[in-house]
Amino acid sequence: MSLHHSALLSFLALSACTIADKDGDTGASSAPTIMGTFTILDAQYGSGMSGVAVASSLGETTMTDTDGSATMAVVQDGQFSVQLSKEGALDHLLFGPTGQEDFEFVTFMATEFLVDTVTSQLNTSPADGTGLLVVGIDYDNLSPAVGATASVNAAHDSPWVIGGMGRASFSNTIPNGGMGMVAFPGLLPGSVSVDVIPPQNTECTAFPSGGAMPNAPVVANTVTVITYHCR
């Protein structure tokens, strides 16, 4: 098992233990749960990615179907942590606050080829042992919240976005004609606070529960994905 897989599994186990401690039990499954559907899209082609291994902090494991979707139980009124892994892609950790309703979390998964392309365009290479935080900022209809900006409270390499024609550039603002995400590379493992400034006359809240985003985990050699929805 590689070092970053060990770190990621340790984080998931710690999340499960935290849930159990709150309930005064040794089993994470004692907490009330809701259902989360995680739809994984290929960041290069936009199609669903089948055969992605999905593991939750509650110990459930499954694979995405032909549409790139997997449904599993997550803690109600808490936080979810879901690990994604697939050969030829970077390990991903999906994270966010939950409420009392089932939800669908749609996200892209970056392949090693895509990351190599971006780093080549930007002439940059994050240090080994650091993590990448992707802050998704979309409207409720999943269109990019153009003009929204994101920042984090920890040292990092220059943030970047993907604009029209799939061209990466250094910025922390969602571009017109591009993807609704800002990437923060070079973060040291730990947790970071994220601040999002919405486009004019809109409000952006943490998805899926709404409200403020909890501090986001950063894991070595892993892409952490959090999402804001705006309206």
Domain ranges of the chain: 3-230
Q: Give residue 4's pLDDT.
A: 46
CATH superfamily of 3-230: Immunoglobulins (2.60.40.10)
Q: Give residue 20's pLDDT.
A: 43
Q: Give residue 208's pLDDT.
A: 98
DSSP track, the chain = --HHHHHHHHHHHHHHHHHHHHHTSS-GGGS-EEEEEEEEEETTT-SB-TT-EEEETTS-EEE--TTSEEEEEEETTSEEEEEEE-TTB--EEEEEE--SS-EEEEEEE-BHHHHHHHHHHHT--PPTT-EEEEEEEEETTS-B-TT-EEEESS--SPPEEE-GGG-EEE-SBPPTTS-SEEEEEEEPSEEE-EEEEPPTT--EEETTT-SPPPPEEE-TT-EEEEEEEE-
Q: Give residue 29's pLDDT.
A: 52
Q: What is the torsion angle, in degrees rounded to the nearest 10, for the CA atoms of residue 175, residue 176, residue 179 and residue 180?
A: 70
Please state the length of the chain.
Answer: 231
Q: Give residue 157's pLDDT.
A: 97
pLDDT in tens, 118-163: 999 999 988 999 999 999 999 999 999 999 999 999 999 999 999 9
Peptide bond into 214 cis (omega under 30): no
Q: Give residue 5's pLDDT.
A: 46
pLDDT per residue of the chain (231 residues) written in tens, 0 to 9: 334 444 444 444 444 444 444 444 444 457 899 999 999 999 888 899 999 999 999 999 999 999 999 999 999 999 999 999 999 999 999 999 999 999 999 999 999 999 899 999 999 988 999 999 999 999 999 999 999 999 999 999 999 999 998 899 999 999 999 999 999 999 999 999 999 999 999 999 999 999 999 999 999 999 999 999 999
Q: Give residue 42's pLDDT.
A: 93
